[in-house]
Structure 1
Amino acid sequence: MSEQAVEKKLKQLDLEENKAEEVKEAGAVANPKEGDADGEKKKKKKKEVKGISTFYPEKIYPEGEWQDYTGSEENLKRSTDEEKRYNDLKENNKWNDFRKAAEIHRRVRKYARKHIQPGMTMIEVCETIENAVRTFCETKQSLKAGMGFPCGVSLNNCAAHYTPNGGDKTVLDYNDVMKCDFGVHVNGCIVDCAFTHTFNPRYDPFLEAVKEATNAGISACGIDVRLTDIGEAVEEVMESHEVELDGITHAVKCIRNLNGHNILPYRIHGGISIPIVKNGDNTKLEEGQTIAIETFGSTGKGYVDYTGGEVSHYMKNANPPPRAAIRLSRAKHLLRTIDRNFGTIPFCRRYLDRLGEDKYLLALRQLVKVGLVTEHPPLFDAKGSYSAQFEHTILLHSTRKEVVSRGDDY
Structure 2
Amino acid sequence: MAGGSTDAATKEMEALHVGQTKETDEILKKASDSNGGAPGAQSPPPPADDDEAQVDGPSEDGAGASAAAKKKKKKSKAKKKKDPHQQTDPPSIPVDELFPSGDFPEGEIQEYKDDNLWRTTSEEKREQERLQKPMYNSVRRAAEVHRQVRKYMRSIIKPGMLMMELCETLENMVRKLIKENGLQAGIAFPTGCSLNWVAAHWTPNSGDKTVLQYDDVMKLDFGTHIDGHIVDCAFTVAFNPMFDPLLQATRDATNTGIKEAGIDARLCDVGAAIQEVMESYEVEINGKVFQVKSVRNLNGHSIGPYQIHAGKSVPIVKGGEQTKMEEGEFYAIETFGSTGKGFVREDLECSHYMKNFDVGHVPLRVAKAKQLLGTINNNFGTLAFCRRYLDRIGETKYLMALKNLCDVGIVQVCEIGYHHFDANVYQDMVTHGFLTCLQPYPPLCDVRGSYVSQFEHTILLRPTCKEVISRGDDY
Q: Determine which of 211, 214, 220 is the counterpart of 1:171.
A: 211
Matches within 5 A, 1:86-105: 86-105=127-146
RMSD: 1.5
Displacement of 1:56 after TM fit? 1.1
Does residue 312 of the first structure (1) align with residue 344 of the second (2)? no
SS state at 2:231 partner: strand
- CA distance in 2 between partners of 1:280 and 1:356 (Å): 44
Displacement of 1:144 after TM fit? 1.1
- CA distance in 1 between partners of 2:459 and 2:319 (Å): 21
Q: Which runs of 5+ in 1 are unaligned?
A: 1-43
SS state at 1:327 partner: coil
Q: Which residue identity is paired with 1:379?
A: L
Does residue 253 of the first structure (1) align with residue 318 of the second (2)? no
SS state at 2:204 partner: coil
Displacement of 1:121 after TM fit? 1.3
Does residue 400 of the first structure (1) align with residue 443 of the second (2)? no
Q: Which residue identity is paired with 1:380?
A: C
Q: Determine which of 398, 401, 405 is the counterpart of 1:367.
A: 405
Contact 1:326/1:367 (CA < 8 Å) preserved in 2? no
- CA distance in 2 between partners of 1:272 and 1:280 (Å): 11
Displacement of 1:152 after TM fit? 0.2
SS state at 1:279 partner: coil
**1:329 — aligned with what?**
367
Matches within 5 A, 1:4-403: 49-72=92-115, 75-139=116-180, 141-307=181-347, 309-320=348-359, 324-369=362-407, 370=429, 371-403=436-468
1:141-161 deviations in whole A, cap 9, x for unaligned?
231111110000000000000
Q: Which runs of 5+ in 2 are unaligned?
A: 1-79, 408-428, 430-435
Q: Which residue identity is paired with 1:336?
A: G
Displacement of 1:187 after TM fit? 0.8
Displacement of 1:325 after TM fit? 4.0
SS state at 2:113 partner: coil
Displacement of 1:293 after TM fit? 0.3
- CA distance in 2 between partners of 1:98 and 1:253 (Å): 32
Displacement of 1:198 after TM fit? 1.4
- CA distance in 1 between partners of 2:94 and 2:464 (Å): 32
- CA distance in 2 between partners of 1:219 and 1:324 (Å): 43
**2:68 — aligned with what?**
none
- CA distance in 2 between partners of 1:271 and 1:92 (Å): 25
- CA distance in 1 between partners of 2:254 and 2:150 (Å): 18
1:143-201 deviations in whole A, cap 9, x for unaligned?
11111100000000000000010011111111110000000001110000000011112
Contact 2:368/2:401 (CA < 8 Å) preserved in 1? yes
1:107-126 deviations in whole A, cap 9, x for unaligned?
00001011122112111111
Displacement of 1:50 after TM fit? 2.8
Contact 1:50/1:138 (CA < 8 Å) preserved in 2? no
- Going from structure 1 to structure 2, the CA distance change for 1:323 and 1:81 (only over 3 Å counts) comes to closer
Displacement of 1:277 after TM fit? 0.6
- CA distance in 2 between partners of 1:292 and 1:279 (Å): 19
Q: Which residue identity is paired with 2:474?
A: D
Between 1 and 2, higher relative CO (CA 8 Å, sep ≥ 6) is seen in 1
Displacement of 1:324 after TM fit? 3.6
Q: Which residue identity is paired with 1:397?
A: R
Q: Which residue identity is paired with 1:53?
A: D
- CA distance in 2 between partners of 1:199 and 1:55 (Å): 33
1:41-98 deviations in whole A, cap 9, x for unaligned?
xxx99987331123212221000000011132xx011101111111111000000011
- CA distance in 2 between partners of 1:245 and 1:50 (Å): 42
Q: Which residue identity is paired with 1:277?
A: V
- CA distance in 2 between partners of 1:233 and 1:270 (Å): 23
Contact 1:262/1:268 (CA < 8 Å) preserved in 2? yes
- CA distance in 2 between partners of 1:279 and 1:319 (Å): 29
Displaced runs of 4 or more, over 6 A: 44-48
Q: Which residue identity is paired with 1:312?
A: S
SS state at 1:237 partner: helix
Q: Which residue identity is paired with 2:186?
A: G
